[in-house]
Chain A
Amino acid sequence: MKYLIPLWLLLSALLVSWEVSPEDGLFYQPDGWPKPSYNFETNPISHEGFLLGKALFYDPLLSKDSTVSCASCHLQYTAFAHVDHPTSHGVDSRVGKRNAPGLMNLAWYPYFHWDGGVLGLNGQAINPITHPDEMGSTLEDVLKKLNRNPTYRKAFQNVFKTDEIKTQHILKALAQFTVSLVSANSKYDQMKRKELAFSDQEQRGYTLFLRHCNQCHTEPLFTNFKFKSNGIGPHPTLKDEGRSAITGKEKDALTFRVPTLRNVEHSFPYMHDGRYGKLKEVIHHYATASMWKLPVSSELKKKNISLNSDEEKALLSFLKTLTDKAFLLNSTFGYFSLK
């Protein structure tokens, strides 16, 4: 009996350390980060659920003609963004009107999409699955395909204890994978943990960042999750009114969610419409206030940022420290199939 309690404590400690290890792919809470917005009680994460969600994420079966998977527009090495077009394309080569954003640290997001229309990660995947410019499918069709697939039926039975796969099971499995995409091991993070130091140029860039950018791209998530106009003006052909499409309010016209800058080096193109292909073009946009078109957020108006070319280079160096190679190359997030 006297050995039972220490043994139990040891097993518990092992279990906890297993749960929080970044290497196994499951969600973990980095030190010093805020409390996640995601309610894990609605969808407890399990290793099997994570694997099932990963299999669905990489399976084109979710699209109407089984040609496009989630991963078609969200590639791991590009921070789960889509880099070969300004805006992503889906089935039948149809092109959407927004740049597929990178997927990481989604547990902290209070809402999703560039306009913030979707409030919870559990329901988010309905949009890409059913959007005619993305996967173009229907939930009925997806359920039919999955329910007649014995491998998936077995996997869903294992995770959700269900004989019949239903909508909520698909969405929750996908969320178990996507909520686990935590990126918190960049050079910036290592510097914060005092494991290494920035170069002089990176440090200069960081100082500039704190002065000019941090108000909206707030540490440690590098976004404040607010909706802002960044001065690029409306796209010449895409009719995208942004946040006002959701709220119906004039003041929200042409505002979009502030994106995270984590892994920004790899998640080109930039802006909601993928207008800029290079990070230095984005920095140059913010560094040259005279080029801004209306509307512009009050923060940007007040700051009236002006940077010389050395400062632009320093800022670029700092932004590259947000690259998390351990995340981009983590094989536990890579292609996976149940078959």
Chain B
Amino acid sequence: MSMSALPWELNTFEAMKRVTHFLFGLVLIAPWEIWAQLNLRVLYRLAPITLGKRLPFNSNDSIQLDQLKFYIGTKDEKVHFFDLEDSLTHTLILHQPEDSTLLYFGMDSLANTQGRLDGPFDPLLGMYWAWNTGYIQIKISGVLWTSIQSFPFEYHLGGYRHPYITHYQKMVSLHNRTVHLSLEGFLSALPIQDQPKIMMPGPRAWTLYQHFVSSFP
């Protein structure tokens, strides 16, 4: 029986088994999981950001994000895939959150090259470079509108070869088991009008990635 079968496709035994698992999950697992969570909220000017929505930018411009995906990790979940579009990815495992915690940004060269192709490493998530072994650490795309014209932009930032390694650790502040990522600084650092696409590791990608990491408090 496929795990992806719909409820009405299950036989009685299978359905009862699922219900039992669900109840056990509610009673035993769910409280533990809530306790062990770290939430990640992406903000712009103090409000949660939404994909596809036009936002004021600089003094007279506006900006829209169409995609925001990145890798981040905690000491209990070293490599976590975050996709702004998928709220299920907005929670990381962290067993003992305090006022601050160590976060991992990107992944090291071993994680990039070990050849695991499942879980957060599944190329299906769209983060595998393909032309090159390894993973894009952050994908961000959208459109900037100025008073004169629009500028579609797309950045695929990453790299694990010296000296342009996009892998950092940083202590960040928590509020009620939540980390707030404020995107203003990172978006302002993107060279959208000069270089609207960066698709390869290198000095520019490395610098921008540092701006991204700086966005975490």
Contact = CB atoms under 8 A, between A and B. Distances in A.
Interface of A: 39, 42, 111, 113, 117-120, 122-123, 126-127, 130-131, 139-140, 143, 163-164, 166-168, 171-172, 245-248
Contact of A120 (B115, B164, B200): B115
A123 B124 contact: no
Given A42-B115, A168-B122, A247-B161, A123 B2 contact: no
A123 B161 contact: no
A120 B133 contact: yes
Interface residues of B, number: 23
Contacts of A163: 1-3
Q: Report whether over half of chain B's contact residues are helix, strand or loop; otherwise say mixed.
A: loop
14 contacts: A118-B132, A118-B133, A123-B133, A127-B131, A130-B130, A139-B124, A163-B3, A164-B3, A167-B118, A168-B117, A168-B122, A246-B132, A248-B161, A248-B164
Contacts of B117: 122-123, 167-168, 171-172
Nearest to A131: B130
A183 B130 CA distance: 27
B4 interface: yes
Contacts of B3: 163-164
Contacts of A120: 113, 115, 133
B128 interface: yes
Contact of A164 (B2, B122, B200): B2
Name the 3 nearest CB pairs between A and B, nearest first.
A168-B117, A119-B133, A117-B132
Interface in B1-42: 1-4
A90 to B, nearest CB: 14
A164 B124 CA distance: 14
B152 interface: no
Interface of B: 1-4, 113, 115-118, 122-124, 128-133, 161, 164, 200-202
Contacts of B200: 245, 248
Given A126-B130, A127-B130, 18 more contacts: A42-B115, A113-B131, A117-B131, A119-B113, A119-B115, A123-B123, A127-B131, A131-B131, A139-B124, A140-B124, A143-B124, A163-B3, A166-B124, A167-B124, A172-B117, A245-B200, A246-B132, A247-B161
Nearest to B119: A168
Contacts of B118: 166-168
A248 B128 contact: no
Contacts of A139: 123-124
Nearest to A122: B115
Contacts of A42: 115
Contacts of B202: 248
Given A139-B123, A167-B117, A247-B161, A126 B128 contact: yes
A122 B114 CA distance: 10
